[in-house]
Amino acid sequence: MHRRKGFRKRFSKEELNVGVHICRKCHKGVHATYDEITLATRFDTLDKLLNDDALAAHFRWVSKQRESL
| 53 is a domain residue | yes
Four-CA torsion 54, 29, 17, 7, nearest 10 degrees: -60
At 68 the pLDDT is 65
| 15 is a domain residue | no
At 26 the pLDDT is 93
Give Cβ neighbours of residue 21 (< 8 Å, ≥ 6 apart): none
Q: How many domains does the chain have?
A: 1
Nearest to 68 by CA among 23, 34, 32, 27: 23
What does each of the 69 residues of the chain score in pLDDT, given as a tens digit?
A: 656 776 777 777 777 767 788 899 999 999 999 998 898 889 888 899 999 999 999 999 999 998 765
How far apart, in whole angstroms, are the C-alpha atoms of residue 57 and residue 37? Answer: 21
Domain of residue 50: give its range.
Answer: 21-69
| 57 is a domain residue | yes
